[in-house]
Structure 1
Amino acid sequence: MHLLPFVVLLGTAVTVYSEKHSLSYIYTAFSKPVDLPGLHEFTAMGLLDNRMIDYYDSDHQIKVPKEDWMEQHLEPEYWEKGTQSRKSKQQWFKVNIDILMKRMRQNNTDTHVLQWMHGCEGETQSDGTMKFVRGMDMYNYDGNDFLSFDDNNQVWIAPIHAAEETKRKWDEVQVLKEYTKGYLEKECMEWMSKF
């Protein structure tokens, strides 16, 4: 048996350590109160790397930290502003679920659900900064994809006929598209880096 020499060359390749991180927010609204434990008419939660970091529901109506470091490092003003923002989104969802139900000729006998998820994914660089990888901004209605934002082309994508009217309206509002792109690529990334 003849053995071939095995040579390992050390230092010939450079390994750059990088990690991917994500920050996302998920909002869920029902068309009417759901009489089941743990389900609220409206909930909102923030997730960092898929771990819940904050929470709000329509029964308690206050944004609360779900991680000790969130409570220790963020000022009370952050939580007050967050609570106001979540209350306003709760109203937005109530209005828009009604619009969707009318558009789809649905009545109040069934319970309908509207969800929104938005956030960003980034990758740490060798200098410690975070580089934007991708953003997500998508709506789901009654368990089906309803509308999503194409960040590269700054247009809304409507996978179903019922979403086309919203797509047309939102595509015409340039400031909305610019805000959405800016939020995903900059503001969301800044918050993720801070967290």
Structure 2
Amino acid sequence: MKMYLTTFFILLVTRLTVNSEKHSLMYIYTGFSKPVGLPGIHQFTAMGLLDGRMIDYYDSDVQRKVPKQEWMKETLHPYYWERGTWSRQRKQEWFNDSIDILKKRMNQNDTDLHVLQWMVGCEGETTGPDGIIKFVRGVYTFNYNGQDFLYFDDCNSVWVAAPDKAVQTKRKWDHDQDLKEKTKGYLEKECIAWLDKFMTHREQQLKAASPPDVYMLATNTRIESNLMLSCLATGFYPKDIILHIKRNNCILTKEEGLISSGVRPNEDDTFQRRDSVEISKSDIASFKCEVIHKASKLSVEKVWDHKVDEENIGGIIVGVIVVLIFVVVLVAVVLVVLKKKGKFGFRPSPGEESDNNSAGSV
């Protein structure tokens, strides 16, 4: 039995390199049978991810589909977000109804927490000199109470039951030819078309050089008499950058204890770099952070004021794992739910608006 849920999350945590020709567009919907009562975990959540990074978001408290990338906000018409909000509100209702149906058919009570998760999307690969996106594979899978339930085999256009208890639903859905055609058409065509569109919007924005924000901070270390002095440049594009920490106008090197994160990606497709050096609190030398970003024509020097920052510099850094942490929290909640036996007997949500739409997708 293929473990499609496991495969899906391996895809999410795999960071595609800048030069990779493979790209993915995925959507995750998670609904609970009742409020969870944990900070940041909502009864219903929906999110879109482009190459593993969140591009849009909706939850049952805010009840609006909102952009999570600046280029999404700038390039898509307000109607897209209005239509998307309407669609996800319908999805929220569908999840509530479906979980109620599942509980009744499996003789489950309202005391326990139950969770339904739906993952749908596609992976494409650029081919030819024009960079045309070619379909590679699709993901369309349901999970209930921490167990794989049902997924769509795109190659053979059939539904596959993960456990025996889903066979009845598999047979029922296989007889729905319209459902199978819509699902296959979304994965192979519509999803790929939106993947191509989103990639184009993202690349157009990134063609414009973005200057870095530069910070120079000092934080306490485990050694009471020392400080960690750090220079951070973040939010720049493209990734070529020069960064130095200077002591009395002399550039510090590895031999003098300098450590560097190297250039790393931010969540919004810009980059960051942080260099640090441990110094004595009694060191009265002049320390500077020099940053040169030729693409944006920025050249700046930040002078350390010999103050110690109470907050760690990590609070300023825009990490690349924000989306993954959120997903892992949701998965953790899913896995602690009691696994019940029973029949799987609900229908996929009907097709909705044209953007990111299949038989049940956003």
With structure 2 as the length reference, what TM-score do the two structures score?
Answer: 0.49
CA distance in 2, matches of 1:88, 1:162: 27
- Match 1:186 to one of 186, 189, 196: 189
Q: 1:130 is matched with which residue?
A: 133
Q: In the alignment, what sits opposite 1:99?
A: 101
Counterpart code for 1:27: Y
1:110-166, Cα deviation, whole Å (9 max, x unpaired)? 000000000000001122100000001000111110100000111111111332232
Contact 1:116/1:139, CA 8 A, preserved across alignment: yes
| Cα 1:189–1:175 shift into 2, 3 Å | same
Instruction: Please say if 1:109 is aligned against 2:102.
Output: no
Aligned ranges for residues 1-195 of structure 1 at < 5 Å?
19-126=21-128, 127-195=130-198
**Alignment partner of 1:138: what SS?**
strand
User: Which residue of the partner structure matches residue 7 of structure 1?
Assistant: none
Letter in 1 for 2:106: M
Q: Structure 1 stretch 88-97 or stretch 166-175: which is displaced more?
A: 166-175
Equivalences, count: 179
Q: Deviations over 1:139-194 (max 9, x none)?
A: 01111101000001111111113322321221111100000000000000000000
CA RMSD of aligned residues (A): 1.1
Residues in 2 aligned to 1:92 and 1:49: alpha-carbon distance in whole angstroms: 27
> 1: distance between equivalents of 2:46 and 2:156?
28
Which letter does structure 1 place at the counterpart of 2:116? Answer: L
Cα distance in structure 2, aligned partners of 1:69 and 1:78: 14
Cα offset, 1:104, TM superposition: 1.6
1:35 alignment partner, SS class:
coil
SS at 1:99 equivalent: helix
Quote the Cα distance in structure 2 between the aligned partners of 1:131 and 1:125. 7
Q: Output the CA distance in 1 between the equivalents of 2:168 and 2:88.
A: 26
Q: 1:69: how far off? A: 0.2
Q: Distance in 1 between matches of 2:164 and 2:102?
A: 12
Bigger relative contact order, structure 1 or 2, given CA contacts below 8 A and separation 6+?
A: 1
Quote the sequence identity (%). 68
Q: Structure 1: state its 5+ residue gaps.
A: 1-16
Spell out structure 1 runs of 4+ moving beyond 6 A.
none
Deviation digits for residues 48-95 of structure 1, max 9, x if unmatched?
A: 000000000000100000000000000000000100110111111111
Q: Summarize the Cα distance change of 1:161–1:100 in structure 2 as closer, same or farther, 3 Å threshold.
A: farther
Residue of structure 1 in register with 2:294 after alignment: none
Residue 139 of structure 2 aligns to a residue in which SS?
Answer: strand
**Is the 1:104–1:162 contact (alpha carbons within 8 Å) kept by the matching residues of 2?**
no
| Amino acid in structure 1 at the alignment position of 2:95 | F
- Letter in structure 1 aligned against 2:83: K
> Aligned-pair distance for 1:35?
0.7
Q: Which runs of 5+ in 2 are unaligned?
A: 1-18, 199-362
| Counterpart Cα distance in 2 of 1:50 and 1:168 | 33
Q: Which has the larger radius of gyration?
A: 2
Alignment check: 8 A CA contact 1:149 1:156 kept:
yes
Letter in 2 for 1:160: P
SS of 1:87's equivalent in the other structure is helix
Q: 1:125 to 1:142 in 2, by over 3 A?
A: same
